[in-house]
Structure 1
Amino acid sequence: MKQNQLQKWQERLSENLSAYQSELNSMDRRQALYNGTRGIQVIDKESTAETKNANTVRNIVTELIEAQVDSSIPMPKVSARRQEDEERAKTIEDYLRNETDRLPFEKMNDLDERITPVQGGDYFLVEWDADRHTHTTRGELTVTLLHPKQVIPQNGVADIEDMDYIFVRIAMTKDRVREQYGIDVSQEGEEAPEVRGNGSMAEDLVTVNFAYYRNKEGGIGRYVWVNDIELEHLTDYQARMLDRCRNCGEVMEKGKCPYCGGTKAEKKTEDYFVLPEDVTRSDGSVIPAWQEAYRYPEGVEEILVDPYTGMALEGVPELYQEQTRIPYYKPDVYPVVLRRNVSAFGKNLGDSDVDKIQDQQNAIKKCDSRVQDKLGKGGSILTLQMDTEMEYSDRQLKIVRVNSPSDLSCIRLMNLQADASGDMAVAEQAYQAARNILGITDSFQGRQDRTATSGTAKQIAVAQSAGRLESKRIMKNAMYADLYEVMFKFLLAYSDEPRTVRRDRLDGTTEYSMFNKYDFLEQDDAGEWYWIDDFLFSVDTSSALASNREAMWQETRQNFQNGTFGNPQNTETLLLFWSMMAKLHYPMAEETKTMIEQQLQQQQMAQQQMIQQQMAQPMAQSGQVIPEGVGGGISEM
């Protein structure tokens, strides 16, 4: 059976890999152009091979792609479908923001911003690492960036959710494979070294093939193998699986059955679990470990028939206590999320920027090479009479001996430098055409733009250029929205313990709460428990501005000066302003905020003492006994 499964998936991978090979070859060509290859394509009816190398390369591919790099990471925005789920949506949003800080999204985004425009797209892989433990939690989310070479889609299907299966190929060390799957692959070689970006083979690495597929119930299965060795086959890998004893079926503990003492275990899919104790949710409500239920007595049918009249009588159920059974949540989504550069009909990946401007890059290399040849092969010719003596040295002032002044007319210099202005004009025209294709302007690149004569005009020019590239930002935001939804579903499925959520308030203070999966558990009228996961996921479009600290400092300072926070002369307004600046990590803002808080406390104490003294003076004049603490400690007159 294992051999049949292995052969089936190997054949599927081979077939789809062959159909995808032309795209893989294009990826190598695009990457070479991005890296600045010197090869010049000679395009004619007979051949498109690289026949010669350019003398110099003006790499407009790298220049125009680097001009589009966006370092901002879109932050999650979660909306509830029902009013009673608003607080839950806020908790999801805050926790996902915490996860973006914990995970290396800055590094992944930096690489993603270059792979996507070059190759037309890339992928993110979401997994749950059950081996990562803390003192209070078990397991953590992991997100990995995948190059499109590492993902082989089902041939002919453009959207991942419509695929019957999809392949992921990852290079792993042999020791890690043995630790994770318990199978020795030390004698195996690396099948596909190109998936890690290096064509040379490594002795300590193997290529692990993952096949994710839809099972008959609509869930996600996973088949894993290396070369001709099966590592794992889970028909419903996102379902909860426990090691149960083969003899009695009880859950194993530390490799041994606590009831029969058996040591042989097998993984069993679990659909439900019982609560060992009451669960308290964030709103204070309690899910009881035991609940009341009704059942018919043993041997009694639900419908009883009167033996005398033949009429149906309803059986009377009895009340009893049973343990609360909760269904395990399953994401049932592919863990692979695709980011496209620009959508293209019928393609899994989007359009590549390199494909759009490769002709212009090729033309520039041709023109620049011709310019270099003309400049290098050109020169000057000096004509002299046969008997004219001329000094050949590096001195600026040279001596020429002639017989008579008339011989000077025979000394002539002829410049043989070829005209390269036409080639330079064609190269510049190709460069401008490439920029126009991608929508890159001088203002967008930060260059001097003479058409923008004022600051407002420059802002308009940048905004117009940004509008040309808005489609790419929309695709990036859509990918992050899908990624956050998959991350939430994995958290809902596997985070059994409450986890701390950090939230920044508007006044600059920090609030801590808990992400508890049981907050998303509800019970219907029939007493069945179900999970709430139908939230709307998008991204916060203002996150790009929020990530630019200098712009936020300037914006906050301008709002303070305009009186948005209140009278700038008031201490309370100053405290609010510096609290906001401290939240934006302005230098020395936290120390300034502390000093203003101390000043405010001193002012409040001084005002309180003044009030006490004002209250004490009338009482002292009338001869009344002044209560202790009033009037600065004066007891009586």
Structure 2
Amino acid sequence: MKKRDKDRLRLWQDRLRRANAAYEPELSKMDGREELYQGCNRIRPIVCTARKRETPHVRNLCAELVESQVDSNIPQPKVTPRRREDEWRAKLIEDMLRNELDRLPFEAMNDIMERTIPIQGGGAFLVEWDNSKAGSATVGELAVSTLHPKQIIPQDGVYTGVEDMDYIILKIPQTKGYIKRTYGVDVSEEAEEEPDVKGGSGEGTADDMVTQYVAYYRNPDGGIGLFSWVNDTALEDLEDYQARRLRRCARCGAVEPLEAEPVETPADKGLLPGMTPDGAGAGPDGTSTGLRGKRRVCPYCGGDKWEEAKEEYEEVYVPIPRSDGTEIPGARPVEVVTDTVDELGLPAVAVVQEPTRIPFYKPDIYPVILQKNVSVYGRFLGDSDLDKISDQQNTTNRIEAKIIDKLTKSGSYISLPNDAKIRYDEEDMKKIYLSSPADKSYLDVYDLQGDIEQDMAYLSQVYEEARQVIGITDSFQGRKDSTATSGTAKEFSAAQAAGRLESKRVMKNAAYAALFEAMFKFKLAYADEPRPVVSHDIEGRAEYRQFNRYDFLEQDETGEWRWIDDFLFSCDTSAPLANNREAMWQETRMNLQTGAFGDPTNLKTLILFWTKMELLHYPGAGDTKTYLEQEYQQQQAMMQQQMAMQQQQMQMQAVQDTVSRAREEAARDAQPIGPRAATRAAPTMSVGQGQPGP
């Protein structure tokens, strides 16, 4: 190991020791909280001489009240653009995030976080980009996992939030095989340093496991750096780990092509340092290897050594199409002055292709997203529910032990003379042998009953105290509530309990909003290829689009390209109702009956209704919708036929009317002029116009 690597390792080991020592009071409580949730039977003594330290029976108040608060609903994303022209981008981000919620195991992660957070006061999500997950046309996928508070060591003295810290250290249990595959470092001889981060207290050391320490820190430029190690072995040291890196030729600086042919060189007559038996991996000198004993050769200068370099800009030579029909322009010809001269003695000018330079996007955020139970000033984690009710759990354990003692020690007792004998058998009539008749006076039976009435009353009082501290009522737990005499009263009582627990839901939504923003930024930074996104329109039909990170690029007034990432992330408050299918079924039926969809007897209204029910996964809704659509199509076809027949009849009637009018006109023209008609037609002549007078 180089001296710089040793110095860096010692630096981070010292930071871990200091931060661990400062965080130890909080860490020491975590195992006790887990034991309380699992049903701890220990009793804290009131006096030092108390003999009873355990109870044979545990009423687990802690587990009951934690389980009462479990919410299986996963918050849904809501993205708000700052500009009107970005509305379609915000809708695309929402659909992409919903697809990621379906792809990743968020049901399991939410389930464990719903218990970890009220028990410990907080938990965290870890957002990473996994380049090993490659599809047929894509490289890399988002990876989200959960972190127990025991795995998180914050910077000492910083409690306002993860983003305010200079560094944060994670303790992650890993297999030795994973370390070998991922980092190419053999840690088979290393031992597991902190086995308790795998689970509860008393966890033993596993031979195939090690504790990997991962430190995220702010570099001098404001970006995020990473340093990782196992025991005294450094694994990774990246000053700006969220930056893009490319392998370039050490001689000419050309980017390593994917199709570069590996060739054998005289120095490569065996395995290079750092190579695996199949030839994969890279040597410590930065040599990229593709086959056993062979190196990739630069197609431009013939060099066979490659160096990994941080890249600030992406060079685009071929135009990149975007979803709105525009494209990122490719290379353009540019004249440059060379070192040579032409025939006139002037500097020669050459035409080269200058690519479009796009800045690589960097999230520059910590990948650790903290979710608190209830915020408390001056604490990194929130307030633990079990810390609030640990006294009530201890009192319950004590009273339960006392009640059991009273019940087991109560019963019937008989007094006998010293020399009396009793015959024990299955007969109903038991025989007692006395020495003399006078001994009969010593015979007596005493019934001893333990009075537990006061104990039971105080046990109920302690239980109510625990519930009131957390803010849980009978209606919230689904229990019989004697104070609520109607359905409306029960709803009001449950709403009151929900109001007292609203702070926890707000903190959950805030954590998921930050998680959604981190997922979007990681996708924007590393998803080079367009990713498919599916959503549904108002009629329930699937819409297939693509999340193309180049859609979030725009040019400013100076012609520089910049990324559009200034969206507002929050959670859709209607998601809990949307996830309650039975309630949504009832709401949809009510909307149909009240005419919100239109005329309930209209087929189009019924098709819309069953489309909504299909989206809500109502059994058989799809078949019913298909049947109604076929009926509607048949009705439409019949209506078109009837309209066609009516139009044809109207055309025929028009032809007949035209023919009839033509016949009438022809008949009128051919009719002879009669006397009456001639008389009417003859002009009237007055006297003196050629006619004799009387």
Name the TM-score, length of structure 2 as normaliser: 0.82
Contact 1:65/1:117 (8 A) holds in 2: yes
How far apart are residue 285 of structure 1 and its match? 1.4
More deviation in 476-485 or 168-177? 168-177
Q: Does 1:346 find its partner at 2:378?
A: yes
Contact 1:289/1:324 (8 A) holds in 2: yes
- What does residue range 248-327 of structure 1 map to in structure 2 within 5 Å? 248-253=252-257, 255=288, 256=296, 257-290=298-331, 322-327=354-359
- Please give the per-residue CA displacement for 1:561-605, whole angstroms capped at 9, x wherever unaligned: 221111111111111111111111111111111111111111111
Of residues 460, 466, 476 in structure 1, which corresponds to 2:498? 466
In the aligned structure 1, how far is the partner of 2:519 from the partner of 2:625?
37
Of residues 627, 630, 633 in structure 2, which corresponds to 1:601? 633
More deviation in 386-395 or 12-21? 386-395
Contact 1:39/1:51 (8 A) holds in 2: no
Matching residue's letter, 2:608: L
- Please give the per-residue CA displacement for 1:416-440, whole angstroms capped at 9, x wherever unaligned: 2232222222221111100000001
Partner of 1:452: 484
In the aligned structure 2, how far is the partner of 1:387 from the partner of 1:194?
62
More deviation in 345-354 or 423-432? 423-432
Partner of 1:231: 235
- What does residue range 541-560 of structure 1 map to in structure 2 within 5 Å? 541-560=573-592
Of residues 163, 170, 192 in structure 2, which corresponds to 1:161? 163
Q: Does 1:32 find its partner at 2:35?
A: yes
Contact 1:273/1:325 (8 A) holds in 2: yes
- Please give the per-residue CA displacement for 1:331-359, whole angstroms capped at 9, x wherever unaligned: 00000000000001111100000000000
Q: Does 1:517 find its partner at 2:518?
A: no
Contact 1:121/1:148 (8 A) holds in 2: yes
How far apart are residue 396 of structure 1 and its match? 6.4
Matching residue's letter, 1:266: E
In the aligned structure 2, how far is the partner of 1:467 from the partner of 1:204?
48
Partner of 1:77: 78
Taking a change above 3 Å as real, the CA distance of residues 33 and 408 of structure 1, as seen in their structure-2 partners, is same
More deviation in 277-286 or 229-238? 277-286
Matching residue's letter, 1:251: V
Partner of 1:362: 394
More deviation in 413-422 or 604-613? 413-422
More deviation in 414-423 or 130-139? 414-423
In the aligned structure 2, how far is the partner of 1:385 from the partner of 1:221?
88
How far apart are residue 413 of structure 1 and its match? 3.2
SS at match of 2:488: helix
Contact 1:39/1:50 (8 A) holds in 2: no
Matching residue's letter, 1:54: T
In the aligned structure 2, how far is the partner of 1:191 from the partner of 1:502?
45
SS at match of 1:356: helix
How far apart are residue 374 of structure 1 and its match? 1.0
Q: How many residues align?
A: 603
How far apart are residue 619 of structure 1 and its match? 3.8
Taking a change above 3 Å as real, the CA distance of residues 335 and 391 of structure 1, as seen in their structure-2 partners, is same
SS at match of 2:601: coil
Of residues 407, 412, 429 in structure 2, which corresponds to 1:380? 412
In the aligned structure 2, how far is the partner of 1:296 from the partner of 1:248?
19
Uncovered stretches (5+) of structure 1, i.e. residues with no partner: 300-318, 626-637
In the aligned structure 1, how far is the partner of 2:409 from the partner of 2:316?
86
SS at match of 2:18: helix
Taking a change above 3 Å as real, the CA distance of residues 4 and 377 of structure 1, as seen in their structure-2 partners, is same
Q: Does 1:526 find its partner at 2:558?
A: yes
In the aligned structure 1, how far is the partner of 2:130 from the partner of 2:499?
40
How far apart are residue 382 of structure 1 and its match? 3.1
How far apart are residue 392 of structure 1 and its match? 4.9
How far apart are residue 264 of structure 1 and its match? 2.8
How far apart are residue 407 of structure 1 and its match? 11
- Please give the per-residue CA displacement for 1:183-234, whole angstroms capped at 9, x wherever unaligned: 1111111111111115211111111110000000000000011111111100
Partner of 1:147: 148
Partner of 1:486: 518
SS at match of 1:525: coil
- Please give the per-residue CA displacement for 1:25-83, whole angstroms capped at 9, x wherever unaligned: 10000001101011111256x79x99711111000000000000000000010001111
How far apart are residue 249 of structure 1 and its match? 2.1
- What does residue range 541-620 of structure 1 map to in structure 2 within 5 Å? 541-620=573-652
Contact 2:317/2:331 (8 A) holds in 1: no
In the aligned structure 2, how far is the partner of 1:27 from the partner of 1:387?
61
In the aligned structure 2, how far is the partner of 1:470 from the partner of 1:187?
50
Contact 1:154/1:164 (8 A) holds in 2: yes
In the aligned structure 2, how far is the partner of 1:437 from the partner of 1:395?
57
Contact 2:19/2:156 (8 A) holds in 1: yes
Contact 1:221/1:236 (8 A) holds in 2: yes
Partner of 2:224: 220
Contact 2:185/2:235 (8 A) holds in 1: yes
More deviation in 377-386 or 474-483? 377-386
Partner of 1:173: 175
How far apart are residue 253 of structure 1 and its match? 3.5
Partner of 2:101: 100
In the aligned structure 1, how far is the partner of 2:420 from the partner of 2:396?
46
In the aligned structure 1, how far is the partner of 2:431 from the partner of 2:639?
97
In the aligned structure 2, how far is the partner of 1:186 from the partner of 1:377?
58
How far apart are residue 248 of structure 1 and its match? 2.4
Of residues 16, 21, 35 in structure 1, which corresponds to 2:19? 16
In the aligned structure 2, how far is the partner of 1:593 from the partner of 1:229?
63
Provide the alpha-carbon RMSD of the alignment. 2.8
How far apart are residue 618 of structure 1 and its match? 3.9
- What does residue range 388-467 of structure 1 map to in structure 2 within 5 Å? 392-393=424-425, 412-467=444-499
Q: Does 1:119 find its partner at 2:120?
A: yes
More deviation in 346-355 or 273-282? 273-282
- Please give the per-residue CA displacement for 1:3-32, whole angstroms capped at 9, x wherever unaligned: 000000011111111111221110000001
In the aligned structure 1, how far is the partner of 2:61 from the partner of 2:51?
19
In the aligned structure 2, how far is the partner of 1:493 from the partner of 1:548?
35
Name the TM-score, length of structure 1 as normaliser: 0.89
Contact 1:40/1:50 (8 A) holds in 2: no
How far apart are residue 85 of structure 1 and its match? 1.1
In the aligned structure 2, how far is the partner of 1:240 from the partner of 1:389?
95
In the aligned structure 2, how far is the partner of 1:143 from the partner of 1:321?
41
Partner of 1:42: 45
Structure with higher Rg: it is: 2
Uncovered stretches (5+) of structure 2, i.e. residues with no partner: 259-287, 289-295, 340-350, 658-694
Query: Matched residues, percent identical?
Result: 54
Partner of 2:195: 193
Taking a change above 3 Å as real, the CA distance of residues 344 and 617 of structure 1, as seen in their structure-2 partners, is same
In the aligned structure 2, how far is the partner of 1:90 from the partner of 1:401?
95
Contact 2:336/2:352 (8 A) holds in 1: no
Taking a change above 3 Å as real, the CA distance of residues 87 and 124 of structure 1, as seen in their structure-2 partners, is same
SS at match of 2:43: strand
How far apart are residue 478 of structure 1 and its match? 0.2
In the aligned structure 2, how far is the partner of 1:297 from the partner of 1:251?
24
Matching residue's letter, 1:267: E
In the aligned structure 2, how far is the partner of 1:285 from the partner of 1:176?
43
In the aligned structure 2, how far is the partner of 1:422 from the partner of 1:376?
17
SS at match of 1:141: strand
